[in-house]
Every structure is written in C-alpha cells, then in structure tokens.
Structure 1
Amino acid sequence: MKGSALTFVLGAQEKTCYYIFADKPNSNVGYYFAVQSGGSFDIDYTIKAPDGSIIVNEAKQRQGDWVFIAEKVGEYEFCFANGMSTFAEKVVDFEIKLDDDFKAELPKAPDQPIAVEGMQHSVDRIEAKLNDLIKSLQYYKTRNNRNQSTVKSTERRIFQFSLFDVLLMAGMAGLQIAVVQLFFKDSRKQLV
C-alpha cells in the first residue's frame, strides 16, 4: 500500500492539485480530506482520471472519505479549490492511499492450516479495527478544530457586544447628565 498524508493551507481564490500514479489497472484508490479551519469549513474538489475525464466533482464539502477503482494506469489528479472565499484561507488535511491489493500473507504450514488461517483472520480483523480507529481519530480531530473555531468566534462576538454595551451605557449616562443639567439651567433663569 502506497500513500501520502499532508496538511496544507489553501488561500482565498486559490486552487491546488495533487497527483498519484496508479501503475496497475483496477487498483483501489482511497482518499480522505477534512477542512480543519477557515471560513465555513468547505471547499470544492475534483478528481480526474489520466485521460482527463472527471471521476468526482463536488462543491462546498467539509470532508470526504471514499474509495474508488482506478481503472486505468496513469496519473490521477486531486484538485481543491477555495474559489467561493474572497478572503478566508483554509487548512485542509488530505490523505491518498493507493492499494494494489498486495497484502503480506502468513505462509501456510502444511500440518497446521487451521491455526494459520485463524491467525490470518485475526490479523485482518486487527487491521480493519486500526483503519476504523484512524478514521475516527481524523473525524474527532476535524470536529475539535471546528468546535474551537466556533468557540473563538463566539468569544470575539461576546467581547464586541460587551464593548458596545459599555459604550452605550456610558453614552446614555452622559446624555442623562446633559439633560438634567439643561433642565436645571432653565429653571434657574426663571427664578431670577
């Protein structure tokens, strides 16, 4: 299994492409991406086959985790675009895996085929559980980053509202003092 995982920053109005070469036909290509921060946590992405045909074209996606069959030998293109954002850059986690169905297998012993098959089955189950665990960790990392962004945004808005509230109260107090002074100034002129 060949693969690459990376985190990159996608600027506003920017498009970035990554490539993977499938050297055997009908290989499994798995990919995962998640927008970790920035804007509404969404990007556009496109996957193209070596002949230029579009395999997947999605808009405004927050994350994705899919597997498709690379039917042709050649370079597959994974492009991410942040065209909808005019100023917000986005941080994206991205992973591509190319699995050409090669797995290490335990040698079969002629006198103990049941024990070896049981061990192979156990290894396969452990591998599946580890893959599920990795996907869960990626999901929780993404959720944590989004929740932190929401908390920071809420803190900023609370601070701005509190500052506005203090300025409004100070302005109202100043206005009340001015009205009371004006009221008493007019009443003194009438007495004299």
Structure 2
Amino acid sequence: MWPQARGPQLARLDLYGNLLLVKSEIAPSKDIVVESLKSFLQAFDSKPVCPYDIAYLLPILLPHDEDRCKFVRDLVLTAKACVNTSTRGDAKIIYRCLCAFNIARANNILEPLVTITDLLHYTFYHSADSSLNTLTNKPSYLETLKKDNETKWPIEEKPMELMPQDGFLLLATSLLLDLLKRLLCKPFEI
C-alpha cells in the first residue's frame, strides 16, 4: 500500500513512467496506470500544483495519443459538468476544473473541449458573489475614500491576491496568446 501523501504518489507515477520508458517486464498495464492517475487526481486535483505534476508525466504514462486524448477528454468533460453545477466561488471545485483544463492545454487538446468564451463565463459566474471584499468583510477601496474625505496620498493597501476563479481568466488569456502566436507564425498569403 502506497502512502497517501502527494510526494510518494507522484514518485509512484514517476516510477511507472520510467518502467514504461525502458519497456521493463514489470511495467504496469494501461489499466493500472489509468487507475493510478485517477486516484492521484482524486486526491490532489484541488491543489494548484496538480496539473503541473501530471502534465509532464502523462505523455510517458499514456504514450499513445488516442489513450491520452481519451483520458484527458473524459477528465475535462467531468470537470465541466462539475463546475457547471457547483456553487459559486467553491474553491475546491474551481481548482479541480482548472487542473483538468491545464492538463488538457498541456496536451494540446483544450481548445476543442473548452473555448475562451467558456473560460470567461466560468470567471464571471464564479466571481459574481465572491470578491475579496465580501470574503474578508473589508470595505472596498472606494468605500474607504467616501468615508474619509481627508485621505492622505498615497494610500497604503495590501496587494490583492488572486482568487481561485482568476485561474479561468489567466487560462483564457493564455489561450488568446497561443492563438496570436499561431497567427503570427503562419506565413502570410495573398
């Protein structure tokens, strides 16, 4: 039985990947690899680092494009269904969905499954009832200025941290930049 901490689970996946790379006799079957990936994702997909753990291992663990695409497609469709029915601002669900989307992006199959419009929708949907001000019960910057007409400049404020749903906006921005890069690298034709 493997320990349930992230490090040993990641080491197990890495071991499986190395066994598959060298085509060892004791390499795990595809079913064992898929189940191990699913159990890792189930335990750690709400951690912001999870997609980066999986992104580099997935092409090694599932070397055939069709297997990898099917696994990632199922992951994304499950995440979309979950995020569409979740309560607004549920950080755990948002991180799980972002994990699936980032894994799909790393494997170049995000765009047919999730559009920039979808990502913007998720951003605004999950941002509607949750903001830094409502979470901390801190008055907004403008409310502070309205109450205090003798404000001294510059006003010292703590920098705002990113909210989980900002990940959708960051991913949408990345997709836009990817699209721009493809357009700029394409030869110009008349």
TM-score, normalised with respect to structure 2: 0.28
Structure number having the greater strand percentage: 1
Question: Could you say which structure has the larger radius of gyration?
Answer: 1
TM-score where L is the length of structure 1: 0.28
Which has a greater percent of helix?
A: 2
